Structure 1
Amino acid sequence: MSNVVSPARRSVPGLARHAARAVLAGGFALVPALAFAHPGHGPAVGFAHGFLHPVSGLDHVLAMVAVGIFAAQLGGRAIWAVPASFVALMAAGGFLGMSGIGLPLVELGIALSIIVLGGTVALGRKDWPLGAAMALVGFFALFHGHAHGAEMPVDASGLEYAAGFMAATAALHAAGIGLALSIGKLSEARAPRLAQAVGAVVAVAGLGILSGAI
């Protein structure tokens, strides 16, 4: 009997390994320039700039995509409740930042959010109580929201700017959910491991970002 494995059977894990390496390499290459979205953005006025703020920073992108994957892993009501909790608490953090109310260790909190959320996805546990999952992402959302709010200039429309970064956040959550569901369709048997691998890549990238935050 031949021991040759068909290309079709090799394709999924091989693709996952190459994708993980590419994401990891790309992430570390971008860390010096995009590690934190907040400083050096230029003018941040209105909906468009509010929308661009989260998507132009690697730290925000990784954390919010991880939230989406985490929600998809839990399934059920968590698919909408976990991202909704993040958006709501991020809005609260944004209000604090816009109001000039300080929040300690914002950059550290953002970096830790990537590590913790990526690690949570990597563990792949599905027995999280819904309230605990919402509280976890909501806690870190405060730091992300504060960073967005603190960057808003005094002459900007707070409502439009906030609507922009909330819309971008929801879009990134949807991307994470879509990624997890796409992995499931690609290979149902390997889907949990592939999603966990993505979480591990996110967590490792978070360690790289943390090294610049301390």
Structure 2
Amino acid sequence: MTRVLIADDEPMIRAGVRAVLSTDPDIEIVAEAGDGHEAVELVRLHRPDVAVLDVRMPRTNGIDAAAEISRTVSGTGIIMLTTFGEDDYILRALGCGAAGFLIKSGEPEELIAGVRAVADGAAYLSPKVAARVVAHLASGGAGARAGRRAAAREKVAGLTPRERQVLSFLGSGLSNGQIARRLHVVEGTVKAHVSSVLSRLGVDNRAAAAVMAHEAGVVPAHAAEDG
């Protein structure tokens, strides 16, 4: 059973998220919060597997709440709910320990897939989020876009073939277990590859590595999900 906390200052949004997640019998909503401060307190109390946080909330916003949860509560994965136009917030959240990013207007199936992935230790960027983040990073014009892509490709070129393969799977939102099944190796081997990939790329977490994978163009157009 995956235990989830939902935090959003709009009751209707919380109800919608709860309704979607409740369609999965393996997901349990353990708490709801109306602002970031309450979210942090409830995460400390309930220790959920995943906290789904709105970016903009009163008292403490979602970014600061994510940073505090990452700093003080181990074992809780964080998914940020964003709207179009909040690209800067997404980039800030990458440095605050968030592992998943979803657009509020996205498909309900993406929310369930994101919660499952983050609960399983993976990073999850909805296709719309990944596209907007990469576009935002390149918004300085053609030269900036080419420069970022070239820098990402240069870093990725320094990886071993197996590490590049693992990075591609990270960018597709696969967990260590799913990657292990794809590569026919034990999960511990995948963990070692992931650690090496993060170190070589100079990033702090899987979500940031996933963004770089998209920038470098090493993520397949679509990736079939494992069970």
Q: TM-score, normalised by structure 2?
A: 0.26
- Larger-Rg structure: 1
Q: Would you tell me which structure has more helix in proportion to its own residues?
A: 1
Q: Would you tell me which structure has more strand in proportion to its own residues?
A: 2
**Higher RCO (C-alpha under 8 Å, 6+ residues apart):** 1
